[in-house]
Each structure stands twice: as C-alpha cells, then as structure tokens.
Amino acid sequence: MGKYGNKIREDKSVLTEPRCPFCREKFSPPREISTELGFFTGGICVCKAVYSYDPSGKNQGEAFMDALVYACGEDWDMALSLEPDTDYEQASISYDFHHHTIASGVRNRNPFSRYSDLIFIKINRQSPVSDNPGGD
Ligand SMILES: [Zn+2]
C-alpha cells in the first residue's frame, strides 16, 4: 500500500477542482460571452447553470444580473420576475482564474486574495409541478 502523503495530495486536488456547485461536474474556464447588450465573462455548465466571473470582486451585482439574464435567454422581464430560491438557485464560489481552481468551502474576503467570485445561477424552470408527487 502507498504512503499517506499521496492520498492527502489527491484529496486536496479534488477539493480545488473547478466543479459546478449544483451538479458537481467540472466547468470550463470563464470566457467572453456575447450578449445583446455587450458581453460578460462566464460560461454554461452541462446542467444549464450559468456562471459569471467578477475579476474585480466589486461588481457582484452586475455579474449576478449577467448570469441571471443570460440563464433566462436574455429575457429581462423574465429575469426580473423570478423569485430567488423558488425560480432559481444561486451560488457563489471563490475561483482562481489563473490556475482554474476553486477554494472549496473558503469564504475569502481578503482583497489581496488570488480568488475572485464566480457566481452561479440555475433556473428551476422545469420543476413547476412534479417535484413533490403525493405531497400535501
Ligand atoms: Zn452544473
């Protein structure tokens, strides 16, 4: 059997793998995505979650709206009518753009940190009825 050291390193790399907070699949590095109004830096996961990267750490609201509107097919009326936690879910993870890794479980608010926020939005459009069959 191998040494403990190998195991520990493996576990650590798993923790920092860039995985979607919703489906746990690996996501691609954020890239420039064109929208009707301009562009944002982000991407789309295989589970249809949209993510938006905020390199400055100061425009979280903007990054959030970019992701939300894009997840709605750029339908602002729809985006603005959605209820958080009901119509969509959101998650924010600490992301290292240069190494394409995440800081799992770390809420790092240090302005000198190499991590910035990556905001994930997942629309729950496909679950208007059947989530709770037989529920009261
Ligand atoms: Zn996903």
Q: Residue 2 has which token pair? A: 């191998």
CA of 8 to the centre of ligand 1 (A): 26
* Nearest by Cα to 79 from 47, 36, 45, 114: 36
pLDDT digits (tens, 9 = 90+) for 3-31: 555 454 545 556 689 999 999 999 999 99
In a domain, 115, yes or no: yes
| Count of domains observed in the chain | 1
CA of 123 to the centre of ligand 1 (A): 11
- What strands lie across the sheet with 38-44, from one edge to the other? 31-35, 38-44, 50-54, 116-123, 88-96, 101-103
Q: What's the mean pLDDT in 26-41?
A: 94
pLDDT digits (tens, 9 = 90+) for 46-81: 999 999 999 887 888 999 999 999 999 999 999 999
CA of 27 to the centre of ligand 1 (A): 7
In a domain, 11, yes or no: yes
Which residues constitute the domain of residue 113?
4-123
Report pTM: 0.78
Q: Residue 70 has which token pair? A: 């894009």
The mean pLDDT value of the chain amounts to 83
**What pLDDT score was predicted for residue 103?**
85
In a domain, 132, yes or no: no
CA of 84 to the centre of ligand 1 (A): 18
In a domain, 129, yes or no: no
In a domain, 133, yes or no: no
CA of 1 to the centre of ligand 1 (A): 35
In a domain, 22, yes or no: yes
In a domain, 135, yes or no: no
